[in-house]
Structure 1
């Protein structure tokens, strides 16, 4: 049965069919994107979307069937509906599930495209054969051409959906979604007509050109549809190239691109600056030739082989520069993979020379005294522990320098530090090479004497070394030493006790006279009379509230105005006169009196603040030193809270200073207590900051308000300017205030101000003052206080 062509192809119906297929393609793109982005209930949603798409395809084919004006069999109509809808649903679901994964290989791409083409052809030919069973007669040449065109359309459709549903690229190419859907819908709209043309014989009057028109239309639609992915594909290639070049050229680190043999193919400008070679000199060079020594070269070769096998590791090595100098570098190597094949490696190289120097300095400062450059107590204990683990015998010499505290209190810390530096140099000279001289703290030093050396001979050399005066500030001083010696393991096998025994022997030598040494013996355990006497006297002094509080003002270095004061305990002994804090504070700590002492100071300060408050004075914040032991008292926060209520004081008047050692304890309970104090209005300051325990990771987690730069840095501010600047910068970044203590000269003030430290404390402005003298100075600083006095 021959059908005139014009009854097969109706322009209006074709236009309506194309519109519906454009909409269905847009829906298919969005459905695929949504399932990709949100895989929750993926299977259920894919089924729902597939049924909806199948319904649209069925609707478009009903338009074609009705408009074709070809007799169709009503007997097979329901079978047609069911079969066509089922095939389209199954095909749409299968294609959607395949398209939800990133199809990267050619076989996957071909498989998905052929699945879609086969589904379309099977649905079209089966459906039309059922509905037009009386009129169909396959035109095999046209059927083959139809099959070819449907296959081409399927490949173009899969390529378009893969690219347009890539979320990494979607924002860049989404404007092509609508244009691509229009051309894709046009191509899909032509499929039922070319299939129908290949199945229904047309009259001879229709002519060759007439029945070929749908195929020409399909060819044109496919051509336009093909251009869309090509258009944004070119842009994507350009974008990827630009992104690659940007990452390569503008990387702040040096980047080397090398081939599988390790030959350098390309470098960025940072690599040129790092190595000192030109880009052309580096190109073609084996990367191993930039490594400083042979052992390192072998290590890098092994590392490179591991990288090529898939491991991504970081390695540190030494890089050789063009000027024969070297740089410490950290290398991160990643493979360059194209189509699942490794073609080379990117080596990202960071210059860590300065970081290494800083780490080395930090490690050095952790185990050395920054004033004398001698090993510190931590290093001494580490060496003692190592000798103990080896079962070796040794002796420990403990030294205390007489009259030093008097000199230090009289002339100030800066002057005292000069004395300590000379002491350190002298000890280093007389200590045998295989022994260890260290500074324990203050004016106390120790010498570890190893096997093969006689401790009495070393002690005798120390005594002789300090029989001549030392010079400081144009003056000469005779500094004599009291020396105690304890032997390991003869006296004790406990390292901590060994230090104590050497200390006892030193006190015995001090009692016998200056410039003498004394070996420890067991009788000294019961003869430590002086310290025991002071301990009892201190206990009674705390009980009778007979210690006093001095106040050392804090100043703004720019305005020279008082910003607060530090409360300092002072003890005037009935027989010995003023006992330095450096003497009675350690005794209080050893005798477990420190908590009672600090609470006595707190009450005295609060009482004095109440007096000033009653006189209507404007009183700046007062800081009180609190030991870490106090934080282990369960009632500390409660005590502070109740004391504020008892004295009717605001927490804003109080600041507590805690030592930097609090940062290595890492107990959450301490931080909770600090936060509780701050919630009362009390500020928290880290005292002696930078003396060995500094850790940014701890500091950032602690509830503190202020860092107090230790006086040892201030005393040598020129040499330590970088450290001070780092502390100020760190405090600024953490929104913390900063104050420097131990300021004694105008040059120190100028340097601190230039480094950003505005708040200072020290003898340059004022020594610690009795409360009456501090009150007078405070009243001069605050005009409103003067007004109170006059009225």
Structure 2
């Protein structure tokens, strides 16, 4: 049996061990609040040793302000238990959050001192702050967050969920997320989702759910299982984002990527993808047809009436094609005035081609104007005319041009012979690119004659191609090719520079200097640097600007009025002469011409040809002459071939003429001789 003395010793040692090795800081103080003893953790926590604090006032050591500690120590010494979170200060002055627990020491019903136990709350408070921060982040997350139990019953939703779905937290907590379910998502998707997460895996995907108001919306979500330490699933966490606007944007972008914005038809991108899929999906090379449709003379419509009118026409054409052909055949607008149709049943090809030609010959009513058009159609057949997409399209395009050559308003099937012509044009293009470097291009000048004196007072520069093998090639054969391939830009610059060099040569040789008209293509006129090009060449060749006559057609002048006015005024400022060619063949407005700083109007030869036989043509010519003179402009008649035509024009005060009556276009050296003879006759 243990005696009382031994038990007391045992209890004393046990207490001392607990006191010394406790994870909390202990301090024992007397009734005067003087420190009697501290443990090891007190030193670790506050930095004081027993020597530092023995006999010192507890308030002065841990509470420099001497307020809170005195309050708490007083309560302890009065016999109360204390439990409170407060701040205490280390020896180095650092504040430490602690949990203070105060225990009075009572002997014989009398308080003889007290214990203060301090637990460091630094990590706990940090954890609290992190938890609060996490809670705020979850609550204010831009994504919806849902937590359910293992059976799928909702335990928590954040504010974003409430905002997106329209449900309050009270309405959904305790219920199943299937309250959001819509019929737009397949049951199979939900089965795969549940199977995945109950197997302990994350599931990601997109669903179409339903808001409280019944509105369907898209959401992207990730659902993850939460497991306890034993690996058992206890909860599921779903992070969801409303992606409805994103889906709408994607759908809109898809539409824009695969549809023509003007007509709403599928576009070239869609056509190429669709045609490629048709080819690779055809078992046993099942044939189908590609129809390439091009509106005849569409450029003339744009040039004469305007692009806005042309766009409206294209929209109506597209509507007619879609109404006639969809959904049995597939219709595409692949660019400009070009449309394609894929016909899957070859027995329908000719019927569809004829139907297209017929529906496009029906009158079009656009902005109170009645318009009649035709179209040309080229047809290629898979696999006979090509096993791959580009070949099928190219051969249909070739057949379409053959339809145009044969008179338009018809369809043509592709034949191998058509490729020979296409290859010839390709070869011509290659050689045309080399023609400038080979110095095969030539300028011929056609004299312009003063109607009253019969003297040469100007010229028009006309290009010729002296091919090294083929001989002289007509401008009508290579100029359209140059326009199509953009070679008209370097060729046009060559014409301008060569003309200016010729004028400079006249000056150096003392020959009569006359203005020379240079035809400017629409493509070159619309170049951003066109005015700078003219100005630079004039300066480099050192000629008087007015001797260069920039000549554009009436259709070019009407293409973009604001741009044309701006360019013409800049040219006028430089000092060059400006002429409008082929006047009377377009649909120009007199009001527009009042804005142009031009010097001459050239009457198209189509009116000159019959002025001595047709009173209507004569009336048109005289009207143009009177109009030009009223605007202070000179008038040049083109294509004068008979003396009767010349005399008639002279009677109606036409200023100048050019044509075979006086001279065909002649090489520059012959024109120089003509100028020399003119000098001698002066």
Q: What TM-score do you get using the length of structure 2 for normalisation?
A: 0.52
* Equivalent pair of 1:484/1:502 in contact (CA under 8 Å): yes
1:774 to 570, 573, 591: 570
Distance 1:547 1:297, change over 3 A: farther
Task: Report the equivalent of 1:270.
Answer: 160
Distance apart, 1:529 and its partner CA: 8.6
* Equivalent pair of 2:147/2:235 in contact (CA under 8 Å): yes
Task: Report the equivalent of 1:353.
Answer: 244
- The equivalences for 1:335-484 within 5 A come to 335=225, 343-391=234-282, 392-431=286-325, 433-451=327-345, 453-484=347-378
Give, in whole Å, the separation in 1 of the partners of 2:250 and 2:123: 49
* Equivalent pair of 1:149/1:219 in contact (CA under 8 Å): no
- The equivalences for 1:728-747 within 5 A come to none
SS at match of 1:252: coil
* Equivalent pair of 2:287/2:346 in contact (CA under 8 Å): no
Task: Report the equivalent of 1:328.
Answer: 218
Give, in whole Å, the separation in 2 of the partners of 1:463 and 1:183: 97
Distance 1:357 1:423, change over 3 A: same
Distance 1:605 1:508, change over 3 A: closer
Distance apart, 1:477 and its partner CA: 1.6
Give, in whole Å, the separation in 1 of the partners of 2:348 and 2:247: 39
Unaligned ranges ≥5, structure 2 = 1-7, 27-40, 53-106, 444-462, 466-473, 499-526, 531-535, 541-557, 576-682
Distance 1:145 1:276, change over 3 A: closer
Q: Which has the larger radius of gyration?
A: 2
1:763 to 560, 565, 573: 560
SS at match of 2:562: coil
Instruction: Tell me, yes or no, if structure 1 residue 283 matches structure 2 residue 161.
Output: no
Distance apart, 1:458 and its partner CA: 0.8
* Equivalent pair of 1:288/1:301 in contact (CA under 8 Å): no
Give, in whole Å, the separation in 2 of the partners of 1:775 and 1:542: 26
Distance apart, 1:774 and its partner CA: 3.1
Distance apart, 1:358 and its partner CA: 1.2
Task: Report the equivalent of 1:535.
Answer: 429
Instruction: Tell me, yes or no, if structure 1 residue 242 matches structure 2 residue 136.
Output: no
Task: Report the equivalent of 1:494.
Answer: 388
Give, in whole Å, the separation in 2 of the partners of 1:297 and 1:189: 76
Distance apart, 1:246 and its partner CA: 1.3
Distance apart, 1:186 and its partner CA: 5.0
SS at match of 1:316: strand
Normalized per residue, the structure richer in strand is: 2
Give, in whole Å, the separation in 2 of the partners of 1:351 and 1:388: 39
Distance 1:156 1:483, change over 3 A: farther
Task: Report the equivalent of 2:19.
Answer: 149
SS at match of 1:327: strand
Instruction: Tell me, yes or no, if structure 1 residue 315 matches structure 2 residue 205.
Output: yes
SS at match of 2:361: coil
* Equivalent pair of 1:387/1:393 in contact (CA under 8 Å): no
Give, in whole Å, the separation in 1 of the partners of 2:442 and 2:128: 80
Distance apart, 1:462 and its partner CA: 0.4
Distance apart, 1:314 and its partner CA: 3.1
Distance apart, 1:149 and its partner CA: 2.8
Distance apart, 1:236 and its partner CA: 3.4
Distance 1:298 1:400, change over 3 A: closer
- The equivalences for 1:143-292 within 5 A come to 143-153=13-23, 183=45, 185-186=47-48, 220=115, 223-224=117-118, 226=119, 228-229=120-121, 232=122, 235-236=125-126, 238-292=128-182
Distance 1:480 1:529, change over 3 A: farther
SS at match of 1:358: helix
Distance apart, 1:507 and its partner CA: 0.9
Distance apart, 1:359 and its partner CA: 0.7
Distance apart, 1:775 and its partner CA: 3.9
Give, in whole Å, the separation in 2 of the partners of 1:188 and 1:460: 112
Distance apart, 1:463 and its partner CA: 0.7
Distance apart, 1:509 and its partner CA: 0.7
* Equivalent pair of 2:360/2:373 in contact (CA under 8 Å): yes
Give, in whole Å, the separation in 1 of the partners of 2:269 and 2:136: 49
Distance 1:189 1:532, change over 3 A: same
Instruction: Tell me, yes or no, if structure 1 residue 587 matches structure 2 residue 587.
Output: no
Distance 1:358 1:294, change over 3 A: closer
1:676-729, CA deviations, whole angstroms, 9 ceiling, x for partnerless residues?
xxxxxxxxxxxxxxxxxxxxxxxxxxxxxxxxxxxxxxxxxxxxxxxxxxxxxx
Distance 1:397 1:145, change over 3 A: same
Give, in whole Å, the separation in 1 of the partners of 2:561 and 2:198: 64
Distance 1:389 1:334, change over 3 A: same
* Equivalent pair of 2:139/2:158 in contact (CA under 8 Å): yes
Task: Report the equivalent of 2:637.
Answer: none
Q: Structure 1 stretch 500-509 or stretch 139-148: which is displaced more?
A: 139-148
* Equivalent pair of 2:279/2:388 in contact (CA under 8 Å): no
Q: Structure 1 stretch 302-311 or stretch 494-503: which is displaced more?
A: 302-311
Distance apart, 1:600 and its partner CA: 7.2
Distance 1:446 1:274, change over 3 A: same
* Equivalent pair of 2:378/2:414 in contact (CA under 8 Å): yes
Task: Report the equivalent of 1:120.
Answer: none
Distance apart, 1:269 and its partner CA: 3.0
- The equivalences for 1:49-64 within 5 A come to none
* Equivalent pair of 1:400/1:445 in contact (CA under 8 Å): yes
* Equivalent pair of 1:459/1:517 in contact (CA under 8 Å): yes
Task: Report the equivalent of 1:16.
Answer: none
Distance 1:503 1:295, change over 3 A: closer
Distance apart, 1:286 and its partner CA: 0.5
Distance 1:464 1:599, change over 3 A: closer
SS at match of 2:263: coil
SS at match of 1:359: helix
Task: Report the equivalent of 1:505.
Answer: 399
* Equivalent pair of 1:531/1:587 in contact (CA under 8 Å): no
1:10-54, CA deviations, whole angstroms, 9 ceiling, x for partnerless residues?
xxxxxxxxxxxxxxxxxxxxxxxxxxxxxxxxxxxxxxxxxxxxx
SS at match of 1:454: helix
Give, in whole Å, the separation in 1 of the partners of 2:215 and 2:312: 37
SS at match of 1:374: coil
Distance 1:283 1:524, change over 3 A: same
Distance 1:416 1:545, change over 3 A: farther
Distance 1:259 1:218, change over 3 A: farther
Q: What TM-score do you get using the length of structure 1 for normalisation?
A: 0.45
Give, in whole Å, the separation in 2 of the partners of 1:268 and 1:764: 61
Normalized per residue, the structure richer in helix is: 1
Distance apart, 1:312 and its partner CA: 4.2
Distance 1:486 1:578, change over 3 A: closer
